[in-house]
Amino acid sequence: MNLRVRVLHCGNHWYADIDDADDPQPDDPFWYVDNCPSQTRALETACAELLTLSNLVFRGDHLYRVLEAAVAA
């Protein structure tokens, strides 16, 4: 699985998500963060989470998308 980080500027804050590189739609990522005060902070936060998710993929664990996790909870 190829995961990627996307960082966007929304109004006066930054948003970041992690999604499958083969999924061009940002509608249901594996992880996201909103209201970051800077692009640097959004990128740092997303990269730290990407490392965690990459370790799960390496072990063969199933990754849940945000909406899947909400339904399962």
The 3-class secondary structure across the chain, one letter per residue, is: CCEEEEEEEECCEEEEEEEECCCCCCCCCCEEEEEECCHHHHHHHHHHHHHHHHHHHHHCCCCCCHHHHHHHC
State pTM to two decimals.
Answer: 0.82
Amino acid identity of residue 66, one-letter, is: V
Domain ranges of the chain: 3-72
The per-residue pLDDT for range 20-47, each reduced to its tens digit, is 888 767 788 999 999 999 999 999 999 9
Check pLDDT > 70 for residue 72: no
Q: In the chain, what percentage of residues exceed pLDDT 70?
A: 95
Instruction: Tell me what pLDDT residue 71 has.
Output: 76
pLDDT computed for residue 35 by the predictor? 93
The whole-angstrom separation of Cα 69 and Cα 73 is: 6
